Each structure stands twice: as C-alpha cells, then as structure tokens.
Structure 1
Amino acid sequence: MLLAGLVAGCGGRPPGALIPVADTVPGTARVNMVVATVRERSDGPDIFNGERARTPSYAEIEVSIPPDGARAVGDVQWPRSIPGNPATDFVTTRLDALTQDQAIKWFNDRIRRTPGRQALVFVHGYNQRFDDAVFRFAQIIHDSRAPVTPVLFTWPSRGSLLAYGYDRESTSFSRDALERLLTFMAKDPNVGEISILAHSMGNVVTLEALRQMAIRNGRILPKIKYVMLAAPDVDVDVFYTVLAELGQPRPAFTLFVSQDDKALAVSRRVWGDVPRVGQVDPEQEPFRTEFERFNINVIDLTKLRADSDALNHGKFAASPQVVQAIGARLAEGQAMTDSRVGVGEHIIKLTSDAASTVGTAAGLVIAAPVAVLDENTREHYGEHVRQLGNSVQDTAESSRSAVTVPPGR
C-alpha cells in the first residue's frame, strides 16, 4: 500500500502516446535517437511492450518537444488525449523499427557528425513503460543541450507497481545485451568516447554489464569514459563488491544521491533495511571512506528541490540545475570533475543565478543546494557559499516579514 501510494503518479496516461503525429508548430524542438532493447515486439502503437525477448531489437525515434516557454525545464508533458498536441505535449514524429544493420548505419552516420564523436547511453529504471523511457531520455537530451549521439537502452520493465520482482529479474536478463551493445560501441572506430547515464534500478543492469566486461577484458573498455549513476537502487554491499571487480584504469564515476528519496526508502524496506546507494549520506561513515577508496565522485542533491518530482527520485533529470550541469560537462568533453571545475560548481553557479534572479527568500531555498565531495569542487565551494550566504542574509532580512524560510533550508 505504501509503495502504491508513493508511485501512483505514473498511472492514468493514455495509451498510444508514441503514435507519430505531424508537427507544423513553430518553435518545437526535435530529439532523434536510436533504441536498442530486449523488450518483446508489440502489435500495438508503441512497438515494444514490457515482456522479454531472446534477441535484441532496434528502432529510430524522433520526439517533438513543445516550444520554449510552453514547458518548464525538467518536465515531461504527456498528452492528455491521443493524438497529442505538439504545441503543448511531447509527441513522436517518427517511429521506425530497424534491423541491426540499419541501426548500425544510423549510429555511424550520426556519431561522425557529433562533436568529439561522443555517445550517451541512457539506461532507465523500474516501472518504466517503453514510452516513459523514450520521453524521459528525449527530455534529458533536450534540456541538457548535450552535443551527443543519443542511444537508449531499454530493458523489459512492465511499467507496473506490482511488477517489482519481474523488473528486478529483468535486470539480470538484460545485462548481457547491454554489455554487447557497449562493447560494439567501444570498438567502433567512429566513436570517440562513451558516457553512460543510469537511473534507479537501471544501475543494476549497468553495473552488472560493466562488471562482465571487466572480467572478460581485464578492464572496462577505454572508450567508456564517464559513468553517471543517478539514485541507484543498489545494495551498498553489492555496490562495493562490483566496484572492486571493475579493474584499472576505469571510467570516471559520478554518483547522485538524495537522502529524501521516497522511492528508495520503500526499496530499503523491501530489501531487509540494507541502505540503497542512492539514499546514503556521503558525509557519514563508512560511506565517505568507501567512496574515497573507490574514487567515486559523489554529489548530494538532498537540499535541491524539483517541483515535478514528488518522490525526489528523479532529481538528476527533473531539476533544471542538475540536468543543465550534466549537459555542460558533456559539452566540454571532460570528466564530471576535471582539473578545472566539478559538476557541483556548475550546479552552485546555476542555482546562485536563479536565487539572485528571483530575489526573494522563497527563491533562496535553492541558493546552495549541494554538498559536493569531489576534490576539485571542494576547493572552490567555500567562496561560493560565502558569497551566497551574504546574498541570502541581505535578501532574507528584507523579506523576513513576508516570507518565513523553514528551518534547515
């Protein structure tokens, strides 16, 4: 009952959201992606369902996103009825099944035209229908402005609250297919580098695929440069065990956590009260020492608010500050924490600008939302906090009579 109450917001969407529509609305944006999946093909309008297929399938999808000003950054605007309206809704303008050879041709044509020949692979989480995964990835690509070739790996999730066990078993079923996909991409001479972004239970698929690759090759293949783990629904002990088997050298890992993640709080209860990686406090022991030992960059988003994410489980995508900071780092073609600046400082800069623009105590809730453990951001963080603190104090004094800022914010 608790799980259903927390996650029921996914229900009520009309079927057929991926039926292609004509888009003649001025100002809409397009995101074109290739899809690799081990979902079963469907006779319905969405091409794939939540059942498992023994062989992989491929597709090309183009998503139209409403014009700037018609939606908030971080939001996925679902059609209330079918067909959707491109002026206000996410819709698809193209949805074509591909053979493997056609998918390879699409990928190579696109990667050659991508700056730095960089690909981004997205692996979604639990309770995700095929259309959920497509629209969320399109939103991430559009809002981040990342100049990458988008590759969606979607595994068999039934998109049902009562299918947690089925989805969990599907992660094991899918790891070989993801490993094969990543291996193909990493050995493609047209590819410069690969980034991976995994969310929630998708982290299980990702970590297991990378573990297998490391065992098979002695290390993770070198073109896989960056791995971003958002809200991992992964047991902390399992996490440490997998990291120990990934070999050296390995990609730069960035972990996004939030202690107010309601979905992971439920998962922790389901799995015997063992902490989930995505909900730990990275400043507390033993987590701090373990993350430092494995050289994991940790970004704590607990104090960051994302209005469209009631569960606080998708802040990496629903928060404008985070998704834009991720895009900025990918655009620069560097690790999330390189020698100049960490992604945490990008988030601080973006939220600082937002707070000063709003200019009220209500807007200052997001003034300094992140605790960043990566070494490069730590060096610059203190001065940002001091400057923001002065701004917060000045503005709060002038607004104190009108607005009360809750304790701890």
Structure 2
Amino acid sequence: MHPRSRTVASLHVAAVVLTVLACISCTMRPLQGVLVPSSEAVEATSQIPILIGTTRARSSGDPGEMFSREPSTEMAFAQVTVSIPPDGLRKVGEIQWPLSPPGDPRKEFVTASAANLDRAEFNAAITQAVKATHRNKTMVFVHGFNNRFDDAVYRYAQFVHDGRLPVIPILFSWPSQGAGNLGSYDHDRKVAGQSGAALTELLVAVNANPAIKEITFVCHSMGCLVTLDALRSRASRSGSVSKLKNVALVAPDIGFDEFISAAEALGPRRPRIGLFLSQDDVALKISTSLAGGTSRLGAIDPKEEPYRSALAQQKILVFDLTHLGGDDSHSRAFDEVSSVMGMVERRLAQGQQLGEDASRTASR
C-alpha cells in the first residue's frame, strides 16, 4: 500500500474510533441539566465542593451547563458541590451519572449546589475552605480533550472522593468542545495550546492566598499541553508561584521530545514532576497516528531507550499503570485511584528523592 494510502486509512480508522468513543461517552450522562442543584438531601452521601476557574463563556441556553464550549476573553469563577452516594451503593472509580436530572442522591452523583463567583469571592472561598477543613494544600486539576464542563466537574469530584485526597480541590476548565471527532480534536489541541496564560493567571492568584501553603498540579491528556505552557511561564517569572511543589502528568497527550525540552527549560528549581502512563493507552495510540507517529509521553515504555535515560536525567518520577487493567486505559488513573494513590505513597515512603533513578516504574 502506498504510504499516503496507509496514512489516509489510519486517519479513517482513528475517526471511526473517536466517533465510537464519543457515542459511548454520550450514553453515560444526560446531555442537559446536570448542574441544576437538587433540593433533596441524603445524610449518607459525601459532599465534595469544587472551586473553579474557567475560560469558558457562561452558558445562555442550559442552566444546568453553567459554562459552554465557547471561549471567553476573561477568567470566570464558580463553585459546585457534588453529592456522591455511599460507597456501598456505587462502584468506586466510576461516575454514576443521573439518569434524569437532577438525579437520585442515594445512588447517583447529583449537584448539591452551584454558584457563580467573582474573583474576590473565589479567593474568599479558598480561605473559607482552608478554615473549614483545616487543610492548607490545594490541588489544581486541568482536564483533557472531549470534556464538557460538567464532565470535568464530576470527574474531579470522583477523583478527590475516591482518592480520599486531603486537599482543597480547584478545577481549571479550558473551552474543550466536548466532542470526540477529528475536527474537535484539532480544535481542542489549538485551544489547549492557547490556554496556558490563563492557567498561569489562576496559579498566581492561588499562590497569593496566604491560607494556602502548597499547590499541586494534576493534568490529564491534552490538558498537559496547557500545564506545560503554564510551567514555562512560571519559569520565566521566578518566585511568583513559589508554593507550586508537585506536578502530575496523567496520560499526557504530548510528544516525548516536546516534554523533555520543556523539562530542561524549567531549570533546577522546578517542582517535582510525576508521570503516570499506560503502555496500552488506546486513545494515545490514536493520537500518535494523528501526530504522524510521534510518540506520546503517556504511552511510552519507560524501560526502553531513549526514554529511560532521558527521564532519569530529568529526574522524573515514573508510575507505570499498565498492570492495573480496566476497560478505559486512558482514564485508568481516575478509575483505579485508590491503587494509584497507594503506589505514590509507597514510592514516597521509600524516601526516593529526585536525584535517584526515577525511571523505575512503581508497578511492583
């Protein structure tokens, strides 16, 4: 087969797979009304408040959407509290989407409250959360491709709850189209590449809050493009975000060489960087095809060269999640968050520092 024909065939297969994945995603949750607060309260549920900074435009057509797929020139702020049913009535690691909004809090995720905030109210909400929980560490989550606003909010709430994460959760939501087709993939990639400045703005604001003592970034898939850009900006503004201590790249949809180049540019005073990858990541194999065969960081074999040596030289902590299995290799870290957190705790308990051989996986 002619090389061009093979490329066209690969793109066709990728388009079909992306469409199928999009259709599956659509069947998992209602298309409207998810973020309309429920008036029903159930004692046994867990309430997870998520603070939000977003560059999405406010939604005008669906009050249960809050923020649309369209971009905004200004950062907007909000807070959404997600109610999660008891672990005994749900499968941990999954989102139980309401069949019909606002949903049944006994067995489904529902929105307990949702409010728009201005910048001052957002900052005050961070301070209040620290006082209420006695936690002074925050985690900023950056979602990936094909995420609606409600997707990102509910996924982050699930991640925080199932991981029992002792943090103040903050979501940065960039204007992904929330559709799994080739056109949306190209669009999202372009928008992600333009969203780093806004994430830096949010980071600087959180860093300036005296109640917060430590910041951790967690990015997923294409959201790691946004995060890398923000980190580059941080490096050029030394000291402005001194509380940023950890960065976790989960299934990053970025080129390996691009990542290594960015890591080198960050210099020696950068935060600790952890890479969570799966060698069988189906979504990243499709992305690799779309990128002309360029290896995606989130799907490499970290024991192979040149990956092993480059990661060790840059002192990257590597967590290979391939052995965890599951149906969704691209979201494995969220689906199996308890196992992943155990891996992280064991690694840190061993006292491994950045100067050690970080190219070893944590799968054993």
On whether the aligned pair clears a TM of 0.5, the verdict is yes
The residue number in structure 2 matching 1:174 is: 195
Q: Distance in 2 between matches of 1:31 and 1:323?
A: 20
Q: Distance in 2 between matches of 1:221 and 1:126?
A: 26
Tell me the CA shift for residue 138 of structure 1.
0.3
Number of residue pairs matched?
341
Q: Are 1:83 and 2:102 an aligned pair?
A: yes
Tell me the CA shift for residue 128 of structure 1.
0.2
**1:256 and 1:301 in contact (8 A); partners too:** yes
2:214 to 184, 193, 206: 193
Q: Distance in 2 between matches of 1:82 and 1:339?
A: 43
The residue number in structure 1 matching 2:284 is: 264
Q: Distance in 2 between matches of 1:208 and 1:220?
A: 15
For 1:111-126, what aligned pairs fall within 5 Å after superposition?
Answer: 111-115=130-134, 117-126=136-145
Moved more, 190-199 or 220-229: 220-229
The residue number in structure 2 matching 1:19 is: 36
The residue number in structure 2 matching 1:67 is: 86
Identity across the alignment (%): 38
Distance 1:115 1:253, change over 3 A: farther
**2:192 and 2:226 in contact (8 A); partners too:** yes
The residue number in structure 2 matching 1:229 is: 249
Task: Name the TM-score, length of structure 1 as normaliser.
Answer: 0.79
Moved more, 206-215 or 16-25: 16-25
Instruction: State the Cα deviation string for residues 157-192 of structure 1 (Å, max 9, x = none).
Output: 110112111111111221111001111222332211
What amino acid is aligned across from residue 61 of structure 1 in structure 2?
A: V
Q: Secondary structure of the equivalent of 2:50?
A: strand
Q: Secondary structure of the equivalent of 2:324?
A: coil
2:310 to 268, 279, 290: 290
What amino acid is aligned across from residue 340 of structure 1 in structure 2?
A: Q
Q: Secondary structure of the equivalent of 2:322?
A: coil
For 1:7-406, what aligned pairs fall within 5 Å after superposition?
Answer: 7-12=22-27, 13-14=29-30, 15-43=32-60, 44-45=62-63, 46-115=65-134, 117-162=136-181, 163-217=184-238, 221-306=241-326, 310-325=327-342, 329=345, 337-338=347-348, 340=350, 374=358
The residue number in structure 1 matching 2:19 is: 4
Tell me the CA shift for residue 339 of structure 1.
5.9
The residue number in structure 2 matching 1:367 is: none
Q: Distance in 1 between matches of 2:335 and 2:44?
A: 22
Q: Distance in 2 between matches of 1:108 and 1:321?
A: 28
Tell me the CA shift for residue 150 of structure 1.
0.7
Q: Secondary structure of the equivalent of 1:303?
A: helix
Q: Distance in 1 between matches of 2:299 and 2:23?
A: 21
Unaligned runs of 5+ in 2: 1-15
Distance 1:71 1:156, change over 3 A: same
**2:311 and 2:358 in contact (8 A); partners too:** no
Unaligned runs of 5+ in 1: 330-335, 343-372, 386-409
Tell me the CA shift for residue 115 of structure 1.
4.4
The residue number in structure 2 matching 1:404 is: none
**2:207 and 2:243 in contact (8 A); partners too:** yes
Q: Distance in 2 between matches of 1:235 and 1:145?
A: 31
Tell me the CA shift for residue 47 of structure 1.
1.0
**1:50 and 1:157 in contact (8 A); partners too:** yes
**1:128 and 1:157 in contact (8 A); partners too:** yes
After the TM superposition, list the runs of 4 or more consecutive aligned residues in structure 1 that deviate by more than 3 angstroms.
112-116, 320-324, 336-342, 373-378
Distance 1:70 1:339, change over 3 A: closer
The residue number in structure 1 matching 2:3 is: none
Q: Secondary structure of the equivalent of 1:69?
A: helix
**2:51 and 2:122 in contact (8 A); partners too:** yes
Computed over aligned residues only, the root mean square deviation of the Cα atoms, in angstroms, reads 2.3
Tell me the CA shift for residue 197 of structure 1.
0.8
What amino acid is aligned across from residue 39 of structure 1 in structure 2?
A: R
| Structure with greater Cα Rg | 1
Tell me the CA shift for residue 4 of structure 1.
1.7
